Structure 1
Amino acid sequence: MKRFVGFVRKEFYHIFRDKRSLFILFGMPIAQILLFGFAITNEINNVNIAILDQANDVTSKEIINKIASSKHFSIVDVIQQESSIESIFKKGKVKAVVQFENNFGNNLIKKKQANVQVLTDATDPNMASTISNYISSILKKYQQELNKNSTIDYQIIPQSRMVYNAELKSVYMFVPGVMTVILMLVSAMMTSISITREKEQGTMEILLVSPLKPFQVIIGKVFPYIFLSVINAIVIVLLSIFVFNVPVNGSLFLLGVESVLFIITSLALGILISTISATQQTAMMISLMGLMLPTILLSGFIFPISSMPLPLQVISNIIPAKWFIIIVKGIMLKGIGIGYIFKETAILVLMTLLFIGISVKKYKIRLE
């Protein structure tokens, strides 16, 4: 029995000395529960919206103040004409525009009813429906307050209009997200495992002493995954067009260029993971926990980033998938050009250069 107790004690000592095991046992569960708890929500908070007040009267201003005081919305722009709506949606600045008709207050008093149009960016159909319902709820509450001390019932009629996805098809949201996840995993995870396998088996040393230069070895290792990822991207786009009837309103050439850029970004991230991983198991763990979960939870693929706590919103900015999803949705559903997605494209380019720079710095020609 003493031998058994001594053996168990030895195992405890071994685990406590291994910082990686402690991180897996205690760090990852805590990180996961916090990430899932704060990121997974169907509520919306601090959603950026714009106001088009064609009436500009007391009643419309009262309703605007009600919307502004709600924790669910942040009024970031007040536009003056209807022609600006399309432009502001394409820029991605807002998720909804609340439009008050001309003579809104007079119509409400004289005709006993007035109209408010709620235009929402339905590239994310779930969020668009939630925004529309929340604004309708605010209008209904204001209407009840208005009718509380009145014998005449005044009606404020909200008219919802879904922009870019009138039928609220969920596939419009899932195709860009699934495309991003697949390209990220195939490019980054498979590349990191492939290079780490060579290091683990000791064959990387043979490659490094060959006539090929180190950068040629790395390029040779990742090139097949560029080719395979491009094929994956083409297949996904073709399936989305011909099977799921998702439109490509923008340039197919631009979509292809941006996809290749994201693939290269993911490959650079995979190379970076391979430089800090000694084994395939470590590379797999880092890829799954460090790429897959953040890509799904913090990229805006399923859950709105604006509803997350501020620290998670900040962290989401270093997730390459966030910027690529904005690009894909913009090109496919909004039909925008490079002028509207220049910032997102520049961020992916900078991330690629950063990942490659860190990898080169950490890369050792002579393996220990």
Structure 2
Amino acid sequence: MKRFIGFVKKEFYHIFRDKRSMFILFGMPIAQIMLFGFAITNEINNVNIAILDQSKDSETQKIINKINASQYFNIEQKISSESQIESVFKKGKVKAVLVFENQFIKNLQTKKQAKVQVITDATDPNIANAITNYVNAILQNYTQEFKRDSPSSYQIQTQTQLYYNPELKSVFNFVPGVMTIILMLVSAMMTSISITREKELGTMEVLLVSPLRPFQVIIGKVFPYVFLSIINATIIVLLGFFVFKMPVEGSLFLLSFESILFIISALSLGILISTISNSQQTAMMISLMGLMLPVIILSGFIFPISSMPMPMQIISNIIPAKWFIIIIKAIMLKGASITIIWKETLILIGMTVFFIVLSIKKYKIRLE
């Protein structure tokens, strides 16, 4: 019995001395519960909207102030004409535009009803529905307050218009998200496993002392995954177009360029993971826990980033998938050109360069 107790103590000592095991045992669960607890929500908060006030009277200003004071909306800008609505949506910041009709207060007092048009960016159907419901609730609350000052019955009618996805097809949201997840996992996880396999077997050092230069070896290892990821991306776009009738409004060349850029970014991230992993098991754990969950939760694929706490919103900015989803939706659904998505493209390029430079530096330290 003493031998058994001594053996168990030894195992405890081994676990406690291994910082990676301790991180997996205690760090991962804490990180995941915090991530899930704060990020996963079906509610919307701080959604950016624009206002087109054609009436400009005291009552429309009261409604605008009421909307802005709610936790659900943030008035990003005020526009002066309907011709600006599409350009505002294409920039990607604004999710809805509220249009107040001419002579709003006059119509409310004389005709006993007035109209507010709720125009939403329906590339994410769930957010579009939630925005409409919240606006209706705020307007209904305002109408009840307005009735207290007058015995007459008043009504504010809302007219809904959906941009880019008028039928509210959820597949228009899921095809870009699934494409992002597949490209990230195939590119990053498979690359990191492939390279750590060579390190486990001791053949990577053999390759690096061959006539090939280190960067040629690395490029040779990851090139097949570039090719395979491009095939995957092509299959997903074709299935989305022919099977699910998802439009591709923008340039196919631009879509291809952005997809290849994201693939290279994911590959460079996979190489970076391989530099800090000594085994395939460690690489797999880091890839699954460190990439898959953030890609699903913090990329805006399923849960709106604007509804997350500010620390989560800041963290989401370092997730390459977030920027790729913005880019691919803008190209496929909105027909955006590079003049619209240049900022997101530059961010992806910067991340790719950063990952590649850091990976090369790590490889020089460890393998040369």
Quick check: 1:328 aligned with 2:348?
no
Whole-Å separation in 2 of the counterparts to 1:253 and 1:321: 20
Q: TM-score, normalised by structure 1?
A: 0.98
Partner of 1:175: 175
Contiguous gaps of at least 5 residues in structure 2: none
Q: Is the 8 A contact 1:108 1:155 kept in 2?
A: yes
Quick check: 1:305 aligned with 2:311?
no
Cα offsets for 1:216-244 (capped at 9, x unmatched): 11111000000000000000000000000
Q: Is the 8 A contact 1:226 1:264 kept in 2?
A: yes
Quick check: 1:360 aligned with 2:360?
yes
User: In the TM superposition, what is the alpha-carbon distance from 1:115 to its structure 2 partner?
Assistant: 0.3
Whole-Å separation in 1 of the counterparts to 2:366 and 2:48: 52
Quick check: 1:218 aligned with 2:218?
yes
Q: Is the 8 A contact 1:249 1:334 kept in 2?
A: yes
Structure 2 counterpart of 1:89, one-letter code: F
Quick check: 1:248 aligned with 2:254?
no
User: In the TM superposition, what is the alpha-carbon distance from 1:64 to its structure 2 partner?
Assistant: 0.4
Partner of 2:16: 16
User: In the TM superposition, what is the alpha-carbon distance from 1:151 to its structure 2 partner?
Assistant: 2.5
Partner of 1:90: 90
Change over 3 Å in CA distance of 1:366–1:269 after alignment to 2: closer
Change over 3 Å in CA distance of 1:224–1:56 after alignment to 2: same
Partner of 1:137: 137
Structure 2 counterpart of 1:330, one-letter code: A
Q: Is the 8 A contact 1:143 1:156 kept in 2?
A: yes
User: In the TM superposition, what is the alpha-carbon distance from 1:144 to its structure 2 partner?
Assistant: 1.2
Structure 2 counterpart of 1:355, one-letter code: F
Partner of 1:46: 46
User: In the TM superposition, what is the alpha-carbon distance from 1:162 to its structure 2 partner?
Assistant: 1.2
Q: Is the 8 A contact 1:195 1:221 kept in 2?
A: yes
Cα offsets for 1:299-335 (capped at 9, x unmatched): 0000000000000000000000000000000000001
Contiguous gaps of at least 5 residues in structure 1: none
User: In the TM superposition, what is the alpha-carbon distance from 1:367 to its structure 2 partner?
Assistant: 3.6
Cα offsets for 1:4-52 (capped at 9, x unmatched): 1111111111111111111111110010001001110001111111100
User: In the TM superposition, what is the alpha-carbon distance from 1:365 to its structure 2 partner?
Assistant: 6.8
Whole-Å separation in 1 of the counterparts to 2:252 and 2:125: 23
Structure 2 counterpart of 1:68, one-letter code: N
SS in 2 for 1:250: coil
User: In the TM superposition, what is the alpha-carbon distance from 1:149 to its structure 2 partner?
Assistant: 4.2
User: 1:272-311 residue pairs with structure 2 within 5 A?
Assistant: 272-311=272-311
Aligned-residue Cα RMSD (Å) equals 1.0
Identity %: 73
Q: TM-score, normalised by structure 2?
A: 0.98
Cα offsets for 1:278-301 (capped at 9, x unmatched): 111111111111110000000000
Structure 2 counterpart of 1:327, one-letter code: I
Structure 1 counterpart of 2:167, one-letter code: E
Structure 1 counterpart of 2:81, one-letter code: Q
Whole-Å separation in 1 of the counterparts to 2:263 and 2:332: 18
Partner of 2:186: 186
Structure 2 counterpart of 1:324, one-letter code: F
SS in 1 for 2:34: helix
